[in-house]
Amino acid sequence: MYLLIRQVNNVNMRKTIDHLLNCKMLGKFFSKFSMRKTIDHLLTTCIWISSFVTVGVLAWILLHVLLNGIGHINWEFLSTAAKGHEGGILPMIVSTVAVVLVAVGISTPIGVCAAIYLVEYAKPGKVVRAIRFATETLAGIPSIIYGMFGMIFFVNLLKLGFSILAGAVTLSIMVLPTIVRTTEEALKAVPIGFKEGSLALGASKLRTISRVILPSAIPGILAAIILSIGRIVGETAALYFTAGTVPRMPTAIMDSARTLSVHLYLLVYEGISFEKAYATATVLVVVVALINFMANRMVMVFKKH
Amino acid sequence: MMNVDEVATMVEVEEEPAKRKKIVPGKTVNSSKWRAIWEKIIEIFFFLCASTAVISVIVITIYIFAQGTPAILKIGPLKFVLGKLWRPEAEIFGVLPMIIGSIYATLGAIIIGVPIGIFTAIFLSELAPGWLIKIVRPAVELLAGIPSVIYGFFGLVIIVPLIEDKLNVSAGNSLLAASIILGIMILPTVVSISEAAIRAVPQSYKEGSLAMGASHIQTIFKVILPAARSGILAAVVLGIGRAVGETMAVILVAGNAPMMPKALTGPIRTLTANIAIEMGYAYGLHREALFGSGVILFIFIMMLNIILNVSTYKAGE
């Protein structure tokens, strides 16, 4: 009898212990689960806040510049030359356009041909790797180094002086990676069927490229050009040392010129006029936003293939 | 866009002259030979265009070093790199304050920009509902397109006064201001490249993790991010490159005193600012010393580039 009771007791005890253990595990499980939930919530909140910050900062910059600048923009500001604290930004607009045209004019043919070589001709190997490494390196070199190089090489050594041409040539090297990469993407996006069809019909490789592949890659090439224009319009450091800072209307390609970004920098750095700075910044922001919008449109077109 | 029929007609029209020539067999051989030579010439031309990038890199490297190293050697490499004083008027040229300044500003930018950037990338690739992606992604792209001088201007009129106000310092042009502005400026680089890296992670990794009972957030942080780490690393390195190389925005907010940075709210001068501020009026050894700081900056950037290439090369394998 005694033995039996002990056994029952034992069983009971074992059950109790098991039960206790179970509870503990379950508790642990539950606490772990809720902690996991807390961490999940915390991280999700962080992610949302970060994205909000990213968009918020952009909105803040844009609104601040636009709200303070829009009131100072009028026809006179856009259509006259600067005279100290007075006057507008017409010479800077003209200089910016000139630099953009020359730089893009130099860079586009070279960049597009380079992309054609990389996509259509090059065989994987050391040469291609060297070209890709060089393109990456060019993309990574800071604009001030381009400025220094431009000053040493184009301004002094080739005796171009501080001029639109010197600035534009320097920038054409700077935007080369943008053009090569974006064009490459566009060329790769051309359906292989186009190429095969053309080759099968007996067209030579060159003819296939010039009549079939390039025409279908035009939106991508345009996107490359527009992106480059955006970079050139926003560039300051490289132009400061190559195109100079003369705020006059340029009359020739060898004239020194001041682009919009350089103008804004000088207005702010020398504390000339914050009103003019806001107005100039507004013009720049609007131009950049438009360029961005157009580039996006173009990329969408060539991705649709 | 263009369908195959159109392509076919275009090619046909082009091939007509060739058909005509076939009547005279000798000429066909001749013309095809010429055509082959012509194609070869064009190929060489394309190759030359492609090598422009290589030539540019080589020429840029040579000229920057040729202009900068004489001064470094004249001053003494150790004295130049480790010198704590920069007094051009006394011909004392030590760029250590600027090197430290550049490193601090970049570190600050990473601390601010990288977490926000990676979180935003996660948001874009994993959490955001479609309509929000349509707002956030263009915003990031526009952020990338805004000229650096506008960031500097914004920093000067907003961030600098804010620091003066909240932290009660006399001049807000400081390391902190530079870090904040640079942090914002590297955001688009970090976001877009990390996002691409996260999207490149195979869907099955995610599905596997979810099937094992992990929550979405756990999956993101324990499976997806580790799998995308080489791409995220590339994003960070590119961000560092942008922060180290930034000039005009930093000049406007950093205070630019050429001395060792002492406090978060004290002024700093970066290598880039050193060049841009003094190049205008420098001559003689001073000018050469500025090219010397350019060489130091260039070495920094080249190291970053090599790290980047090695890491992406490994990731490609």
Q: Using one digit for the tens of pLDDT, what is the confidence trace for A11-55?
A: 565 566 556 555 555 555 556 667 888 888 999 999 999 999 999
In a domain, B4, yes or no: no
Q: What is the mean pLDDT of residues B138-156?
A: 93
- By CA distance, what is B180's nearest residue in A? A57
Considering chain B, what is the average pLDDT of its residues? 86
| B172 & B125 share domain | yes
Is the domain of B71 the same as that of B127?
Answer: no
Query: Model's pTM, two decimal places?
Result: 0.85
Q: What is the pLDDT of residues A131-182, one digit of tens each?
A: 988 998 899 899 999 999 999 999 989 988 899 999 999 999 999 999 999 9
Q: Tell whether B222 and B290 lie within a shared domain.
A: yes
Q: How far is it, in rounded angstroms, from Cα A231 to Cα A288?
A: 9
Same domain, B47 and B122: no
Claim to verify: residue B175 and residue B287 sit in the same structural domain: yes
% of chain B exceeding 90 in pLDDT: 55
Cβ separation A194–B4 shorter than 8 A: yes
- pLDDT of amino acid B171: 83
- What total number of domains does chain B contain? 2
The fold of the A76-303 domain, in CATH, is MetI-like fold (1.10.3720)
Q: Could you give phi then psi for residue B129, rounded to 5 degrees?
A: -70, 155
pLDDT at B256: 87
Tokens of B269: 């001068």
In a domain, B3, yes or no: no
Select the residue of A61, A143, A145 nearest B146 (Cβ to Cβ). Answer: A61
Give the CA distances from residue A251 to residues A95, A162, A254, in Å, rounded to whole numbers and listed in that order.
9, 14, 8
Same structural domain for residues B311 and B232?
A: yes
B85/B70 same-domain check:
no
Which residue out of A38, A39, A265 would a mutagenesis test of the B interface target, given it has the greatest number of B Cβ atoms within 10 Å? A265
Q: Say what the pLDDT of residue B314 is.
A: 59
Contact residues on chain B for A153, CB-CB shorter than 8 A: 59, 63
Domain that holds residue B20: 9-75
Note whether B218 and B167 are same-domain residues. yes
Tell me the C-alpha distance between B241 and B245, whole Å: 6
Same domain assignment for residues B256 and B115: yes
Instruction: Tell me which of B24, B51, B75 is where a domain ends.
Output: B75
Cβ B1–A291 below 8 Å, yes or no?
no
Which amino acid would we find at residue B221?
A: F
Statement to judge: residues B114 and B250 lie in one domain: yes
Same domain, B200 and B286: yes
Task: List, as ranges, residues 121-180 from B with C-beta within 8 Å of A.
Answer: 122-124, 127-128, 132, 135-136, 138-143, 145-154, 156-158
User: Taking a C-beta distance cutoff of 8 angstroms, is the pair B96, B78 a contact?
Assistant: no
**Average pLDDT, integer, range B285-304:** 91
Q: Which of B272, B57, B56 is nearest to A238 (CA)?
A: B272
Grade residue B279 by pLDDT with cuts at 50, 70 and 90. confident
Compute φ and ψ for B225, nearest 5 degrees: -60, -45
What is the predicted pLDDT for the residue at B76?
87
Same domain, B67 and B165: no
> In terms of CA atoms, which chain B residue is nearest residue A212?
B7
CA–CA distance, A248 with A25 (Å, rounded to integer): 80
Which of B50, B75, B100 is at the close of a domain?
B75
Min Cα–Cα distance to chain B from A5, Å: 45
Whether residue B183 is contained in a domain is answered as yes
CA–CA gap between residue A141 and residue B58 (Å, rounded): 12
Q: Which of B53, B75, B97 is the last residue of a domain?
A: B75
**How many CB pairs below 8 Å do chains A and B form together?**
278
Asked if pLDDT for residue A284 goes beyond 80, the answer is: yes
The answer, for B297 touching chain A at a CB cutoff of 8 Å, is yes
Mean predicted confidence (pLDDT) in A2-13 = 54
Q: Do the strands A86-87 and A82-83 form a parallel or antiparallel pair, or are they unpaired?
A: antiparallel
